[in-house]
Amino acid sequence: MNIQAIKQRFGIIGRSTSLDNSLSTAVRVAPTELTVLVSGESGVGKEAFSKIIHALSPRKHNTSIAINCGAIPEGTINSELFGHERGAFTGATSERKGYFETVNSGTIFLDEISEMPLDTQAFLLRVLESGEFLRVGSSKVLKTDVRVIAATNIDLMDRVRAGKFREDLYYRLSTVPIHVPALRHRREDIYMLFRKFTLDFAEKYRTDPIELTPDAKSLLERHNWPGNIRELKNVAEQMSVLSEERSIDAAVLETFIPSVHTSRLPALHRTQGNGDGLQEREILYKLLFDMKSDLNDLKSLIFELVQNNDLQMPDRQLKQLARGDSGPIREIRQELKDHLADATKPEETYPIPERQAPPDLSKPIILPNTQSTRFSETEEVDENLSIEEMEKELIGKALNKHKGRRKDAAQDLGISERTLYRKIKQYELQ
């Protein structure tokens, strides 16, 4: 059976190559007994692939059932899948057959398999390998012949690495993997699906079908559709019921898809535990503007000192300094621009350079008098270079800092507590 016939039989709309490849894999694996793992985002129609595989398999005349593993509470999922004996737990007033027993010789579609608890995963692995299972509260081994088709909307290997999904079960389920493409990856199919939905709803609600103007059609195809086919169908139904006009332009379409202009560019990950709640992008911008202000102040100070003290400097560098594009400043600015550009990459962390403290402008700056005689010679003050005095002063500061706690002071100074005790007696620091 060719792909076009499959599409017509099961109501599959689309002409994208990625969709055809997925359908081709499903058709080829259907006559076998292999386990299939269908992956794809929420709303792409993964359950439709399970129906195709079952309908084209030798089990097509037997029962097929779909089970959402994420919708069954953890405490009852074993009973739902494998059954239980009377008195197995509180409320078990009679024995009950599970899905694997009632759907014997049929097909079970396990949706959201990633949400299955770890203990249930162990039971499922045994069913897949040997066809054996135990009811809850029973020691009698039962047999079943069920084909399992699983589906997930997340990467199961991420769950495996996080220790939330068994690796052996993953490889047992993904004997034949089928990936269903997202709607944004098959944009040529968006308008075809929309037309199909509007015609169906027009017939259902006995109204004229919705028509899109060229600008609205272009806007519809550019939207990323995070909810995929399910979201597109909901929008088509809303338009069919709520819109008074049958011809929809871009302005009207925006009222039904408020997020149509929302950017889908990669965003920086918000740092956990950040007290001020700023994202890395905002921190970098703040750092950039603060450093720019500090550089401007420093530039003005140097320029004023050069002018007022008749210091010699090449005219070209003096002009660059006046414009604020001197070599070091230009290099710093370029480094900041490169760092800011790197910060837009998704799912990575970026080191934020420590902000250098601005110079203390309250203290006088003494420049060597090499070209002018208008300044008096500076007075040099001899410093006390005694090692013992410096050592005594440091020990006193450490003791004051730690409020006399010798152990902390010794650790801060990098010496043993015994050595500190000897130095205290030597310098009479009691």
My answer on whether 171 and 190 are in the same domain is no
Residue 348 has what pLDDT? 46
Residue 271 forms part of a structural domain: no
32 three-class SS: coil
Residue 314 has what pLDDT? 63
**What CATH number has the domain bearing residue 235?**
1.10.8.60
My answer on whether 296 and 333 are in the same domain is yes
- Residue 138 — φ and ψ, nearest 5°? -125, 150
152 three-class SS: strand
Residue 361 forms part of a structural domain: no
Residue 382 forms part of a structural domain: no
Residue 193 forms part of a structural domain: yes
112 three-class SS: coil
Give Cβ neighbours of residue 190 (< 8 Å, ≥ 6 apart).
Answer: 183, 220, 221, 223, 225, 232
Residue 373 has what pLDDT? 46
Strands 176-179 and 147-152, sheet pairing = unpaired
My answer on whether 166 and 229 are in the same domain is no
Residue 398 has what pLDDT? 85
CA distance 422 to 417: 9
- Of the candidates 260, 30, 86, 154, which has an alpha carbon nearest to the alpha carbon of residue 22? 30
Token readout for 40 is 């794809």
Buried b or exposed e, range 247-257, using 16+ CB within 10 angstroms: ebebebbeeeb
Give Cβ neighbours of residue 174 (< 8 Å, ≥ 6 apart).
Answer: 35, 37, 156
pLDDT in tens, the chain (430 residues): 689 999 999 999 999 999 999 999 999 999 999 999 999 999 999 999 999 999 999 999 999 999 999 999 988 999 999 999 988 888 888 999 999 999 999 999 999 999 999 999 999 999 999 999 999 999 999 999 999 999 999 999 999 999 999 999 999 999 999 999 999 999 999 999 999 999 999 999 999 999 999 999 999 999 999 999 999 999 999 999 998 889 999 999 999 987 765 544 444 444 444 444 445 666 676 677 777 777 777 777 776 777 677 666 666 666 665 655 545 555 555 555 555 555 555 544 445 445 555 555 555 555 555 454 444 455 555 555 677 788 888 888 888 888 888 888 888 888 888 888 888 888 777 6
pTM over 0.75: no
Residue 324 has what pLDDT? 53
Domain count, the chain: 4
My answer on whether 156 and 287 are in the same domain is no
Residue 363 has what pLDDT? 55
CA distance 118 to 123: 9
What is the DSSP annotation of 242-277? H-S-SEE-HHHHHHH-GGGG------PPPPTT-TT-
Query: How many CB atoms are located within 10 Å of the residue 363 CB?
Result: 7
* Residue 155 contacts residue 17 (beta carbons within 8 Å): no
Q: Show the domain range for 318.
A: 280-342
